Homo-oligomer: A and B are copies of this chain.
Amino acid sequence: MTSFTEENYLKVIYKLSSETDSEVSTNAVAEQTQTKAASVSDMLRKLSEKKLVSYQKYQGVRLTAEGEKVALKVIRKHRLWEVFLVEKLGFNWDEVHDIAEELEHIDSEKLVAKLDEYLGFPSFDPHGDPIPDHHGVMPAQTYLTLAEIKKGEEVIMMGVSEHSSAFLQYLDKINLVLGTSIEVLDINNFDKSLQIILSQENSLFITHEVSKNILVKVQ
């Protein structure tokens, strides 16, 4: 069995190694788990003994196939619960992360299966993140960031890569929500800020930093 704490480490290692696609450093894990490097070292040794990660001292860490399986289960549960909270209970998308961080550790295969069915087998969570299926397979997701879109193109907002409440509330305020069509009217060469039109109606400016965190698909 994996503890609450071990599951969190595996989840963090999964996230970091899928971002960089290489070994994850002790410090990076410490930062994400809000612990100290010394604590991470200890835990990596322990997870390594359990064959959930492959770990060479001083050389960073990777998930084993088994560890990835556990991480994907936790991520699956997290995202399914987020869908539940938003779709069924009426939470806003900026309110659900912390609650899902707790719910993701509830241990019942049958519960996950029934929840999945109840929600209609969703492929994406309220932030547009893909939900692994019960085999741990992630739905294909080939999005671009809004920062990569050329002037004149029109795209649809499909997700975010920053999940902070502050960012999500800002997007709500400017009516930039999942499914919105976005046309890039103009790109400022100096600071890469954008002028965009939402739903062929509202024109507004956003910074490059914001555009980098918005995931879109070309129509």
Which residue numbers of A lie inside 8 Å of B, CB to CB?
85, 88-91, 95, 98-99, 102-103, 106-108, 110-111, 114-115, 118
The residues of B that contact A115 with a CB separation of less than 8 Å are: 89
Q: Which of A99, A107, A111 has the most CB of B within 10 A?
A: A111
Instruction: Tell me the bound Cα distance from A90 to B110 in angstroms.
Output: 11
B118 touches A95 (CB 8 A): no
Chain A to chain B contacts (Cβ below 8 Å), 5 pairs = A88-B118, A89-B111, A95-B110, A99-B108, A103-B106
Instruction: Tell me the bound Cα distance from A38 to B102 in angstroms.
Output: 30
Instruction: Tell me the bound Cα distance from A102 to B95 in angstroms.
Output: 21
Q: Contacting A91 at CB < 8 Å: which of B89, B98, B102, B114?
A: B114
Kindly report which residue of chain B lies nearest to residue A88, judged by CB atoms. Answer: B118
